[in-house]
């Protein structure tokens, strides 16, 4: 389902305004992940993919962002539907997955292998990847949390892809930015996330334009 543009969600001067997309071709950007992408507990226009699409269009880019988040999904589940993602013929994917694996205490190697396989598949299809890192919020045992957080950076470095160090930076653990469950962002939290994701996606667009 394509993200709905939301007028006025950000002040126009909140970001440096890049040169508009020079091609008449509309870029297809697919936001992949679990409930954090889908926008659990908020309206579709309040989730980050819709906000991000609006921001990019205001900056002059011709783009459509498809919200392909699926609540409860693990990296294995996302890997199993990768062909459906490829059928959308994306130019760019924003990959934010693994939070549920972490909550379930899944093996680090399984998480890393699943994400790596997805990244390589996208690269093989000339799709630009923006990988969002995650951190454990409710499992603070260093033996699990530390290697879990590192695996995202390791994948990004090895595969030479764009990287958001922590998808929930500035939002995680802030009661006023999350639903009552303390896990899922609310509308205000998603505005912060969209603002943080924006410059990374801008780099992805510029990379595709050869800038």
- In tens, the pLDDT along 36-58 reads 999 999 999 999 999 999 999 99
pLDDT of residue 142: 85
Does 5 reside within a domain?
no
Does 160 reside within a domain?
yes
Does 124 reside within a domain?
yes
Number of domains in the chain: 1
Encoded tokens for 28: 């297809």
**pLDDT band for position 82 (50/70/90)?**
very high
pTM: 0.87
| Residue 117 CB-half CA count within 13 A | 15
Nearest to 187 by CA among 35, 47, 11: 47
Element (H, E) at 95: strand 92-96
Cα–Cα distances in Å, from 146 out to 55, 153, 198?
34, 12, 27
Domain hosting 99: range is: 12-208
**pLDDT band for position 7 (50/70/90)?**
very low
What's the CATH number where 60 sits?
3.40.50.1110
Contact between 149 and 140 (Cβ < 8 Å): no
Encoded tokens for 199: 């410059």
pLDDT greater than 70 at residue 10: no
């Amino acid at each position: 389902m394509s993200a709905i543009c939301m007028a006025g969600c950000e002040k126009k001067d909140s970001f440096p305004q890049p040169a508009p997309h020079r091609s008449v071709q509309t870029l297809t950007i697919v936001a992949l992940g679990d409930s954090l992408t889908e926008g659990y507990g908020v309206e579709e226009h309040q989730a980050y993919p819709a906000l991000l699409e609006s921001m990019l269009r205001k900056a002059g880019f011709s783009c459509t962002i498809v919200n392909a988040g699926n609540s409860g999904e693990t990296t294995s589940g996302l890997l199993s539907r990768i062909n459906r993602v490829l059928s959308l013929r994306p130019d760019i994917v924003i990959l934010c997955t693994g939070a549920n694996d972490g909550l379930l205490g899944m093996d680090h190697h399984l998480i890393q292998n699943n994400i790596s396989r997805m990244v390589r598949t996208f690269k093989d299809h000339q799709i630009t990847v923006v990988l969002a890192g995650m951190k454990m919020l409710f499992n603070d045992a260093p033996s699990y949390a530390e290697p879990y957080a590192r695996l995202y950076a390791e994948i990004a470095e090895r595969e030479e892809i764009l990287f958001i160090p922590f998808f929930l930076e500035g939002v995680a653990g802030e009661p006023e930015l999350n639903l009552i469950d303390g896990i899922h962002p609310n509308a205000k939290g998603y505005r912060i996330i969209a603002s943080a994701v924006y410059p990374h996606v801008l780099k992805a667009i510029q990379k595709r334009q050869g800038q």
